[in-house]
Amino acid sequence: MSERLAVVALCATGDELDDPLEWSSLDPEILEVAPNGLATARSDGIARVRGAFGSLSEQVQVSVRARVASVDVEPPSLELNLDETRQLTAVLRDANGNEISSRRQVTWRSSNADVAGVTADGLVVGRTPGTAVITAASEGVEGTAEVRVLPPPVGSIELTPEADFIGVGMQTRFTARLFDVNGNLLPPQPVTWRSLSPGVASVDADGNAVALAEGRTLITAEVGGVADTATLDVGPAVQVVVIPAVATLGPEQDMLFQAQVTGTSNQSVRWTSSHPNTVTIFSSGRAAFGECGPPTVTITATSTPYPYASATAIITVVGCSFAPPPGR
């Protein structure tokens, strides 16, 4: 910003002189003054300005107040633990990038005070895990800093599998619960998963394990150097075959189905019918006709020990009148 300085020079009689004065600045880094009196502000502060006429001169002080052009918050980003405090500083600069040294009013605010609060002096405190943006504003100009509040350190991990025994080709999911050193449950955090015998079972980044071969492996979950392990046993693939696979059944008829289970010593199965009112299947595998219904019924046998496997048989219903398909 520039302004032209003016002064009146008087002779001994008190009359005003018409000859121009010569101007100069003793602090040109703050205020630059041309000989014709055109003054240009360079930075915040107080500058000494001299006006001369011949051997006469006069000196005045000019206060320069720079306009805030930018605000830098230092540090621009930081991480805090819970209840930890850190001082932020707002650095004000003028249009030339010079730091403004004179005192200016700065207001502070947080985008999420539940995560990180800030005082009127820029002191930040971590309250809950998460991220908040701290803003410093002065004369309508703002600057920001990002604050990340870290969760408490993990003290222990509790690892739980949906199932600790599965067959080849099956999968199960492991869940990791995190606790702090006082045993308090922590919010979920990224977990590093690893199988100590990847040839037996693999595990992905979400804790899903897939059985690849018979054997035993340890599944490990780790966070920040704290880990827990769980055992996963892999048995042979369980398969079920229903005999006969196809059959016919009509009114007042019944028949016996058999289920052969391989891959486990437990031969128990659970029988179900797709249309139990038409064909009822009992726990012994005996199927009995009930009433006319759909032309086909599906019988399913599912192995009861985990991992579950199933097979089906198709029964064609005879001796009933079925409505012809639409359009015929």
DSSP string covering 184-228: PBPPP---EEEESSTTTEEE-TTSEEEE-SSEEEEEEEEETTEEE
Judge whether residue 272 has pLDDT over 70: yes
Which residues on adjacent β-strands are paired with residue 147? 78, 132
pLDDT on residue 138: 95
The least confident of 202-211, 235-244, 247-256, 291-300 is: 235-244
Q: How big is the chain, counted in residues?
A: 328
Q: What would the mean pLDDT of 175-195 be, rounded to a whole number?
A: 92
pLDDT range class, residue 190, cuts 50, 70, 90: very high
| Res 179 pLDDT > 60 | yes
**Of 135, 153, 151, 132, residue with least CA distance to 143:** 135
Percent of the chain, pLDDT > 90?
60
Q: Say what the pTM is.
A: 0.49
Q: What is the C-alpha to C-alpha distance for residues 239 and 310, in angstroms, rounded to an integer? A: 7
Q: What is the mean pLDDT of residues 82-86?
A: 93
Residue 119: both structure tokens together: 């005082």
Decide which of 295 and 38 is more confident: 295
As a whole number of angstroms, the distance between CA 51 and CA 22 comes to: 6
Tokens representing 279 are 């064909």
| Cis? peptide before 153, omega within 30° of 0 | no
Residue 208, token pair as written in the block: 């899903």
Look at residue 3 in the predicted model and tell me its pLDDT. Answer: 54
221 vs 196: CA distance, rounded Å: 11
